[in-house]
Amino acid sequence: SQQGEEDPQALSIQEGENATMNCSYKTSINNLQWYRQNSGRGLVHLILIRSNEREKHSGRLRVTLDTSKKSSSLLITASRAADTASYFCATAGASKIIFGSGTRLSIRP
Amino acid sequence: ETGVTQTPRHLVMGMTNKKSLKCEQHLGHNAMYWYKQSAKKPLELMFVYNFKEQTENNSVPSRFSPECPNSSHLFLHLHTLQPEDSALYLCASSPGQGDGYTFGSGTRLTVV
């Protein structure tokens, strides 16, 4: 399966600290995407990184992709209470996107 | 508001009822999707429509019946559901398959 698997499953950090989440997958991909989901709501697309890219930034987000290791990481810098949510990686093959199980991030005040 | 609108937001139905979930997007996207999200499980892809044609049915039971009358609207018709079908049902759209998705807020379905 090309499904991404996030690590850790849950992460609790102090406000202001950086949060790093990892994603591993098994097969070749066209791109890898990260999404955020607040409790009981729909997912929000954060960033897409293509298979020929190694790093991408968007505001306080930094995503890396290592296709040789079949892994990606999402770094959120200077975390805020509003960053509390579940974060999912999604791997895109030729015709569909498969989501992982997510990392639940909690930001402590 | 994401540009993908799902109605209703909440639905409680009995096992013998027939109901429909609606999804609407006016983003000009060509692909639309239904996902099921149950507690402590990954998002499960149910159906994919590309240019109004169904391109994926992920072994979904026939008590779930999708309909895509045009590229802006997607329905999920429900009948004789089971309690284990209770979940958050999410609709999404994308410019093309494999592009970033825009999700609706979901319909929280409870089957009693």
Q: For residue B76, which of B39, B24, B30, B2 has the smallest C-alpha distance?
A: B24
To 5 degrees, how large is the angle CA B3–CA A30–CA A21?
Answer: 75
Q: Count each helix (H run) and each strand (E run) in chain B, helices first.
A: 0, 11
CA–CA separation, B22 and B75 (whole Å): 5
Paired tokens of A46: 């954060």
User: What's the full length of chain B, in residues?
Assistant: 112
Mean of the pLDDT values across residues B34-38? 95
| Confidence at residue A97, expressed as pLDDT on a 0 to 100 scale | 86
Contacts of A43 in chain B (CB under 8 A): 43, 90, 92, 101, 103
Residue B37 predicted with pLDDT over 70: yes
| Cβ(B3)–Cβ(B102) below 8 Å | yes
Using the predicted structure, report yes or no on whether residue B4 has a pLDDT greater than 90.
Answer: yes
Task: Confirm or reject contact between B104 and chain A (CB < 8 A).
Answer: yes
Bridge partners (DSSP) of residue A32 are A49, A91
| pLDDT tens for each residue of A70-102 | 999 999 999 999 999 999 999 998 777 889 999
Burial grade of B62 (CB within 10 A; 0-12, 13-18, 19 or more):
exposed
- CB-CB neighbors (< 8 A) of B106 in chain A: 40-42
User: Chain-wide mean pLDDT for chain A?
Assistant: 93
Q: Which of residues 34-63 of B touch A (CB under 8 A)?
A: 35, 41-43, 45, 48, 55-56
B108 close to A (CB below 8 A): yes
- The structure tokens listed for B51 are 């240019």
Q: Which of A83, A91, A100 lies closest to A12 in space, CA to CA? A: A83
Query: pLDDT-based confidence at A2, cuts 50/70/90?
Result: very low
A70: left (phi over 0), alpha (psi -120 to 50) or beta: left
Q: How far is A42 from chain B (nearest CA, A)?
A: 4
Name residue, tokens 């697309």.
A45
B108, B11 contact by CB (below 8 A): yes
- Which tokens sit at A76? 């959120």
Whether B2 has a pLDDT exceeding 90, the answer reads: no
